[in-house]
Chains A and B, each alone.
Chain A
Amino acid sequence: MIVKGRIIARGYAKGPALVTMQPISFLGSVDPKTGIVIEKGHELEGKSVAGRILVFPRGKGSTVGSYMMLQLKKNGVAPLAIINLEAETIIAVGAIISKIPMLDMLEEDPFSFIKNGMVVEVDAERGIVRC
């Protein structure tokens, strides 16, 4: 299926999805060296965001999180692309400076059609998700 979304950071990526209904902070909750979620009690605790199409509602925490996303990218363990329900400043800025394609406000609820492990195509040049 093909679903339209709003472009936040341009680019294109295709890969397996990692989905959580919980907000993510990139400062303190994700290990910048490994990309593994280390926040105690988080749905994704112990899982790596590296090489995944990361689907989550929104960011939380400090604006320094934007810089941590760049650190993930430089360490080669960043998500391939990001899909948010509704973008906020921290993740949007982080995605742009790290050149991680990002969409939000999909015309259909991403949690209803994207499941963990499913291969998803994020075309953030045209604003389209395909799976």
Chain B
Amino acid sequence: MEPELTKKERCMLNGECGEGKRQAMEILFALAKIYGAKNMVPIGSAQISGVSYKTIGDAGLEYLEDLAKKGTKVEIPAYLNPIGMDAQGWEEMKVPQDFAQKQLAILNAYTSMGAKPTCTCTPYLIGVRPKVGEHIAWAESSAVVFANSVLGARTNREGGPSALCAAICGFTPNYGMHLEENRIADLVVDVKVALPDRSDFGVLGAIAGGIARGRAVAFRGIKKADEDMLKYLGAAMAAFGSNSLFFMEKITPEWKIRDGAEKISVDKPEMGRMRKTLDETTEADIITTGCPHASLAEIKEIAEMVRGKKLKKPLWVCVSRIVKEVAARQGLEEIIVKAGGKLVADTCMVVSPMREMGYRNTGVNSAKAVKYLPTMCQQRVHFAKLGDLVEFEGAGKKKVRKK
């Protein structure tokens, strides 16, 4: 059955609103057919992936420039995913010139269409917070889980092109996570272990995601979880199981379990086993955190951890440009820089050319980063709590633990 279109949508499809809108609408119409959507649903915002030159290459760059040349504009607020470098500090990062030029051209094509160069996987940390029940079209997998689960907004896991088309048209096909009946858990996970560190939530996400394989998960038994913890959990679930929705009892806005849903429990030994699996090497040339991008709260903790000390290894804290600027104003960046670390904005360890920059082994506290660094950046990964990864000059062999 063909999706039902409004008069305006029909006009877009016919090309009466310009070639860019026609092409975007043709894609959305095809996707609506493929996924059995009955209609389109207006969206409040879009978050567009496929912004790093490293991932979309020359083919993507040409497509975007072509679309921009046609005068195509976005209809609703649209926010960009991280790029392959710090847009202002790429020379200092030793990013090759050719890469940088192409990357800036991609950014330019997007912004000329009206997309905002937020360059972050965490728009919800810079004030983009859709309301419960609001329809959106977000693409970056961890942002999708966070928006659906923690904010209660409604989005499918969009690809880069489909999120861009949704932004250009202002709506998205109404199927999947947009429909109430699909927002129900088919797997219940009883958590029988305390999760004191953020990295513990990544470990739990890797376990639950791997078992759920895309099914929505309902977690029970977690007494306390702040937004950063939920961020690490969702990011790992998406990376290890293509998940797009979870519930957490008394913590998330939605809570619905299907009758006869599978039930499992996760205990301390299982968490220990997964933690070991994720930790491939004890070597690290560089320590990176901020996958997904770090919040101001995390930066504050890091500043406290390193204040007045000297780091043994380089430390990257990956953040959005806006959060970096706030951290600079609060004096937090200076503390971290003095210790030998840096706030890297617009990008992250996964989408930047780590290997080309000379790194072989990366220390991370994010399970999601463990999943992608080996294939996307040819890195061996040391996974641990941030407090255990960070070592200081003069501290001997003893590791400094986070309070």
Contacts and interface: CB of A to CB of B under 8 A. Distances in A.
A121 B23 CA distance: 24
Contacts of B49: 63
A93 B27 contact: yes
Contacts of B57: 64, 67
A32 to B, nearest CB: 7
A96 B26 contact: yes
Given A32-B59, A71-B59, A93-B161, A63 B50 contact: yes
Given A32-B59, A67-B60, A70-B59, A92 B50 contact: no
Q: Is the interface of B mostly helix, strand, loop or mixed?
A: helix
B124 interface: no
A70 B62 contact: yes
A92 to B, nearest CB: 5
Contact of A89 (B26, B55, B162): B162
A88 B161 contact: no
Contacts of A93: 27, 30-31, 159, 161-162
B58 interface: yes
A10 B33 CA distance: 14
A25 to B, nearest CB: 14
Interface in A92-121: 92-93, 96-97, 104
A70 B264 CA distance: 45
Interface string A38-64: 000000000000000000000000111
Contacts of A64: 50, 55-57, 59-60, 160
A14 interface: no
Contact of B161 (A8, A86, A97): A97
A63 B159 contact: yes
Interface string A59-84: 00011101110110010000000000
A68 B61 CA distance: 11
B159 A90 contact: yes
B34 interface: yes
B58 A8 contact: no
B62 A74 contact: yes
A93 to B, nearest CB: 5
27 contacts: A9-B26, A10-B26, A63-B49, A63-B50, A63-B159, A63-B160, A64-B55, A66-B161, A67-B56, A67-B57, A67-B59, A67-B60, A67-B63, A70-B62, A74-B62, A86-B34, A87-B34, A88-B34, A89-B159, A89-B162, A90-B159, A92-B27, A93-B31, A93-B162, A97-B23, A97-B63, A104-B34
Interface of B: 23, 26-27, 30-31, 33-34, 49-50, 55-60, 62-63, 159-162
Interface of A: 6, 8-10, 32, 62-64, 66-68, 70-71, 74, 86-90, 92-93, 96-97, 104
